[in-house]
């Protein structure tokens, strides 16, 4: 089983351990956090020096985000290192296919839309098998979906360790699967409640607004009795923690564990 470390900031390189053979770096949820080319190159040099494979994380992006992403991809291409790129936006896959075919595209966990809200655990045992199967299964159970991905050179899909468990036995073995631990992504917004949260004057503003990367300064925990686990909001994304590894890990369904030492924002 391949072990990968996922970091979103250079300072987190300290989390590296000997058993990691791959390094994930970048931003999954916000285009403002896309690293600049110099940062990406520093991480690439670090990975190269340690003999680690490299995976670049990319978020969903507006046109402006696309323009910000291209220089990073250009810089990594110039290094002529084999690089995986996790896409969480079909437009980024389009960009990779047409402009950067040398990179290996990987479908991110935002496009793998399994249900992850923890409230499902309140009723999962009462549901008929058909519903339970749905919540535990995924789009990769559909052969045409797998063919669709493979036709576009996508041979790996990223998964969260959702509380209700994961069933992969009916999925195409020709598509590799990675499992993210322990933070489970639940939801994201562009109406970021960390943006401008230091400013009383912006208290009631809900929209796309400028920020000073307050997401790097604050974490919020959201508790309600109907949620089995606390929700954690950092920046424009919501997560929970699931430390229990899924039963299907014992089979050969996942071939990579992606360790997030901190919430990946």
Partner 1 sequence: MKVLSPLDSAAEVDLLVDAGAAEFYCGLLDERWHERYPVMSMNRRPAGKGHFRTFSSLREAVMRAHDRGAQVYFTLNEHYYTAEQYEILWYYIDGALEAGIDAFIVTDFGLIASLHARQYRVALHCSTGATVFNRRSVDFFKELGVVNITLPRHLSVPELRSLSAHVSGVDLTVFILNSRCVNVDGFCTFQHGLAGREIPPMYRNACMLPFQVSGFRMQDCAQPQALPQEACQVRRQKLWERVHVDDHPCGACALYDLYRMGIGSVKIVGRGNPLERKQKDVAFISTLIERARCDDGDRAGFLLHARDLYIQTYERNCRAFMCYYPELL
* Selected binder of partner 1 within 26, 35, 65, 105 (CB under 8 A): 65
**Can you tell me the distance from the alpha carbon of 154 to that of 254, in angstroms, rounded to the nearest whole number?**
16
* Selected binder of partner 1 within 110, 157, 163, 181 (CB under 8 A): 110
Interaction of residue 130 with partner 1, rule CB under 8 A = yes
Pairing of strands 104-107, 176-181: unpaired
Rg (C-alpha) for the chain, rounded Å, is: 18
Cβ distance 141 to 170 under 8 Å? yes
Interaction of residue 14 with partner 1, rule CB under 8 A = no
Q: Is 101 exposed, middle or buried (0-12, 13-18, 19+ CB in 10 A)?
A: exposed
* Selected binder of partner 1 within 61, 76, 86, 168 (CB under 8 A): 61
Residue numbers 160-199 binding partner 1 by CB under 8 A:
170, 185-191, 193-194, 197-199
Applying CB under 8 A, which part among 11-19, 73-81, 89-97, 241-249 lies near partner 1? 89-97
Which one, 44 or 158, has the nearer CB to partner 1?
158
* Selected binder of partner 1 within 116, 156, 177, 256 (CB under 8 A): 116
The DSSP secondary-structure symbol of 245 reads P
Applying CB under 8 A, which part among 1-9, 130-138, 174-182, 248-256 lies near partner 1? 130-138
Cβ distance 219 to 140 under 8 Å? no
Query: What's the sign of the alpha-carbon dihedral 28, 31, 33, 35?
Result: positive
Interaction of residue 145 with partner 1, rule CB under 8 A = yes
Interaction of residue 33 with partner 1, rule CB under 8 A = no
Measure CA 62 to chain center: 18
Residue numbers 225-254 binding partner 1 by CB under 8 A:
226-227, 231, 233
Interaction of residue 12 with partner 1, rule CB under 8 A = no
For residue 86, what are its two tokens? 């996790």
**Can you tell me the distance from the alpha carbon of 188 to that of 50, in angstroms, rounded to the nearest whole number?**
33
**Can you tell me the distance from the alpha carbon of 264 to that of 261, in angstroms, rounded to the nearest whole number?**
8
CA neighbor of 75 nearest in space, from 46, 36, 49: 36
Q: How far is the CB of 15 from partner 1 (least distance, A)?
A: 16
Q: How far is the CB of 104 from partner 1 (least distance, A)?
A: 18
* Selected binder of partner 1 within 13, 16, 41, 66 (CB under 8 A): 66
Applying CB under 8 A, which part among 50-58, 114-122, 175-183, 246-254 lies near partner 1? 114-122
């Amino acid at each position: 089983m391949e072990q990968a470390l996922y970091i979103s900031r250079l300072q987190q390189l300290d989390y590296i351990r000997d058993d990691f053979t791959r390094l994930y770096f970048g931003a999954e949820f916000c285009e403002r956090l896309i690293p600049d080319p110099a940062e990406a190159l520093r991480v690439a040099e670090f990975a190269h020096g340690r003999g680690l494979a490299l995976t670049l994380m990319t978020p969903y992006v507006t046109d402006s985000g696309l323009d910000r992403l291209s220089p990073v991809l250009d810089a990594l291409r110039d290094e002529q290192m084999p690089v995986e790129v996790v896409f969480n936006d079909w437009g980024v896959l389009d960009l990779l296919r047409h402009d950067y075919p040398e990179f290996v595209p990987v479908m991110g966990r935002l496009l793998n839309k399994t249900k992850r809200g923890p409230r499902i655990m309140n009723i999962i045992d009462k549901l008929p098998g058909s519903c339970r199967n749905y919540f535990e299964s995924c789009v990769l159970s559909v052969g045409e979906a797998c063919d669709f991905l493979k036709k576009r050179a996508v041979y790996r899909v990223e998964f969260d360790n959702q509380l209700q468990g994961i069933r992969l036995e009916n999925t195409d073995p020709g598509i590799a699967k990675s499992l993210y631990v322990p933070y489970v992504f639940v939801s994201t917004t562009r109406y970021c409640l960390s943006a401008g949260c230091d400013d009383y004057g912006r208290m009631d503003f809900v929209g796309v607004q400028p920020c000073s990367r307050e997401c790097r300064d604050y974490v919020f925990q959201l508790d309600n009795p109907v949620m089995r686990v606390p929700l954690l909001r950092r920046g424009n994304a919501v997560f929970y923690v699931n430390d229990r590894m899924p039963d299907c890990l014992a089979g050969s369904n996942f071939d990579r564990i992606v360790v997030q030492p901190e919430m990946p924002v």
